Structure 1
């Protein structure tokens, strides 16, 4: 009896302590006198996420409700307190001016047990900075010129394959078509592999690209716990990449690296740099810093994220753009006229130089990324305590999570009048010059912006220019207006694809 009583007292004590810290966590912002959103006991301020609601809508409601209460409002991202930034100027400080205090994203990664998570996007500041320096040479304008002919070649194959397809039918899911194009581009540039997704929709790389986005290792509850307690999750050696996905990409990278090293293959692509970094023991930079080379696991992680980010974001951007062009014939015609005129000046050859002249195409892409913000928010973590300038009451503690709702900025009527209207003229040179750059965050901002920005834009420009030159896009009976989105995806993903009518010009 005495032992039983002691055990009951211990259990009661543990439950009491657990409840105390649980309540203290939920009252984190109230205790500090910071305006805060109501928090669900499990999902925090993002109730419905990955189940019934997309994150853009959740954050959009929070932004609209609290945008005038201060520079940020307190929320709980699952169980983790987070400063939800509602003032673009504070976002600018965090991302640029005061970046030295916010070099980390605070996202979960566990490169020892889950090696594909050890990529540039997820790593913390101390590991991120040297890796960024190592990978930056891949995305210079010089490297883009080397990769340009490869992208154009895949684009021309895209036009040929689609030309044959429209001979027998006209209604297609353009999201799937664009994903097959970008899969072949990234597969070639990142792995040096001819994926053949354009000709075969069930090609290996295309199938694994789909799985990488849809095959989740955990449900919303476990995912929330991992994001809420990343340090504990690492100690418990938890993984977030599904075993099947890990095994496929690790195998492909090992085979590709081994082949290139054995046969001394050079392709001037992303994998070339990774192979060289793996061979190199040390790299001395101009500033005197010395960087070590990459391990095979590090090579695989970078190739994985380049593939995933490269094919998904660009294909989504292209398909959302085509969706809008199908509904706005005047914008489509204007874009086609520009492409035709620019190509005529360059002997109808799509060169690296002429791509830069497609200014209206670029405006369409920028407006698409504003209206359909593929990555809806930016995440940062404070390295030290941060007192918001001119607002001493608002303090972000050391290790505090920061969320910048880029999609909410993009749909703020004070920043973009009539935000739900698709209008590429918002990104004319004159309009852009009048607007602070922080108000458009499609690729992030500051030292930790998207390293593949140049490549992503180049890929989308080439794909859209070739499509619009050769085909007319319009809505059909299967076109969903407005688009219905997949709640299960953190990225903006249309449910059931984007179906349009395509006709050869």
Structure 2
């Protein structure tokens, strides 16, 4: 009996010691920035943090953008970065343009981690260019870069042009079926971008869609992008402790979505390899990358090699959905909204398209699309006002002393936030930031300045690999739509976000509405 009491006492002391250590660790985390003497936002009280974890209350992208904008405004000029807390985890918000350039370009080798969880062995679709880090990311980027160079875009032009023409047909058909001329434009743009990616990147042409309908492709895409195998706490754990979670073979992609996309790509790639027919789409370029890898790599088992390369191909294809589907559709919706709000600018873009087509003998060719300078300025200004992502996330690979700031250190595994929305709306950088002014991009471009002040497609080596692909999708859709329709606002209510969609009124060009004859003349 006496021994039992001793055992209970030892267990009690161990539990008490563990609790003391946990309290000390939590206290250190809460006072991390104060101990380091860095200007920072005070952490929340412990109970609200616990309640947020237990109720799994997630911050939306809009809430994060608002928070980071407030921090940027409060601490701007106080130093190269300021500190804040995500739950109990210390994070740094980057304030200085020169430090942004160091992170994104000069010392990029130490900041090429986006802080995303991936597990290539257990979850092959997660091992894409977007989530990889270090040497794995570098190797994949080097393999893919040649497949998206400028001459490749000219080669893909016909495939994307057909989808833009189909978009125009969908718009025309939808307007004929409706008693009014108002469309919720975002839904149509999402369908256009998804269809273009399905055809160009996944090989779903008209014939393949008999077996793999676009409706099923859309459903699986939504599942892969917006639902996860685990709940909030487990996903948080995968981000915080990725190596430990990989040992446990944890995964993020729902199994149903993985089975669908791997099966689809295995089927179509096998058909092409057996037929020897070379299609003019991006999937063909991925197949050629795979074939080159198969020649240059040596594996003990041929079956293992084929499976590895096919999974890699699938991950390459999935990155277009993860980084290009919603983002491109949203940008296109915002461009049309801004042009509907500023009809004089809409007329300028339309006239530019008309004159360019005249120069190219009425042919909306690849060269014609590339010559649309003012349209490019409109897209750049849209991405400034409505950035694809309101912030850029990075995680340091090793300790990094900030040059010329002795007390500032970005420690290993620290999450960094570059507040793109706040920087894009900083009046010291962009006068009258809430005004839509494409002409601010009309003068000589200062690429060095833009490296720390404009993040339309990211900056540096880890910028979006599909910039030219996305630009081509945007320009084709805008050129065809603006050549046929005038866009005006359905409501005077200013747009706050895309959650409720964008309602625009479309008027076919050349059609005179009753009561407007005198103005038309």
**TM-score of the superposition, structure 2-length normalised?**
0.86
Conserved 8 A contact 1:184-1:195: no
1:187-215 residue CA offsets vs partner (Å, 9 max, x unmatched)? 111011137999x9972223333334433
Distance in 2, Cα, partners of 1:302 & 1:257: 14
Matched with 2:42 is 38
Q: Which has the higher helix share?
A: 2
CA drift of 1:412 comes to 0.8
Matched with 2:68 is 59
CA drift of 1:45 comes to 12
Distance in 2, Cα, partners of 1:464 & 1:43: 48
CA drift of 1:179 comes to 1.1
- Say whether residues 1:22 and 2:22 are aligned partners: no
Identify if the C-alpha distance between structure 1 residues 67 and 230 changes in structure 2 by more than 3 Å, giving closer, same or farther.
Answer: farther
Distance in 2, Cα, partners of 1:441 & 1:45: 31
Conserved 8 A contact 1:195-1:204: no
Instruction: Choose the corresponding residue for 2:166, options 129, 140, 157.
Output: 157
- Say whether residues 1:281 and 2:290 are aligned partners: no
What 5-or-longer segments of structure 2 have no aligned partner?
Answer: 298-304, 510-521
Conserved 8 A contact 1:116-1:297: yes
Identify if the C-alpha distance between structure 1 residues 436 and 136 changes in structure 2 by more than 3 Å, giving closer, same or farther.
Answer: closer
Distance in 1, Cα, partners of 2:268 & 2:364: 30
Conserved 8 A contact 1:50-1:220: no
Instruction: Choose the corresponding residue for 2:358, options 344, 361, 365.
Output: 344
Instruction: Choose the corresponding residue for 1:214, options 215, 226, 232.
Output: 226
Moved over 6 A (4+): 43-48, 195-198
- Say whether residues 1:249 and 2:261 are aligned partners: yes
Matched with 1:353 is 367
Instruction: Choose the corresponding residue for 1:300, options 290, 302, 314.
Output: 314
Matched with 2:516 is none
**TM-score of the superposition, structure 1-length normalised?**
0.89
Alignment of 1:302-451 (within 5 A): 302-430=316-444, 435-451=449-465
Matched with 1:109 is 118
SS in 2 for 1:105: coil
Distance in 1, Cα, partners of 2:447 & 2:460: 18
Deviates more, 1:17-26 or 1:46-55: 46-55
SS in 1 for 2:378: helix
Matched with 1:497 is 501
Matched with 1:74 is 83
Matched with 2:495 is 482
1:302-352 residue CA offsets vs partner (Å, 9 max, x unmatched)? 111113322222111100111111111111111111111111211221111
SS in 2 for 1:73: strand
Distance in 1, Cα, partners of 2:450 & 2:51: 32
SS in 2 for 1:191: coil
Conserved 8 A contact 1:195-1:203: no
- Say whether residues 1:183 and 2:194 are aligned partners: yes
Identify if the C-alpha distance between structure 1 residues 469 and 165 changes in structure 2 by more than 3 Å, giving closer, same or farther.
Answer: same
Identify if the C-alpha distance between structure 1 residues 217 and 65 changes in structure 2 by more than 3 Å, giving closer, same or farther.
Answer: farther
Identify if the C-alpha distance between structure 1 residues 504 and 221 changes in structure 2 by more than 3 Å, giving closer, same or farther.
Answer: farther
Conserved 8 A contact 1:56-1:376: yes
Conserved 8 A contact 1:180-1:201: no
CA drift of 1:72 comes to 0.5
CA drift of 1:53 comes to 4.8
Distance in 2, Cα, partners of 1:139 & 1:43: 46
Instruction: Choose the corresponding residue for 1:205, options 194, 217, 220.
Output: 217
Identify if the C-alpha distance between structure 1 residues 232 and 79 changes in structure 2 by more than 3 Å, giving closer, same or farther.
Answer: farther
What 5-or-longer segments of structure 1 have no aligned partner?
Answer: 285-291, 485-493
CA drift of 1:381 comes to 2.6
Alignment of 1:61-140 (within 5 A): 61-140=70-149
Deviates more, 1:221-230 or 1:411-420: 221-230
Identify if the C-alpha distance between structure 1 residues 225 and 433 changes in structure 2 by more than 3 Å, giving closer, same or farther.
Answer: closer
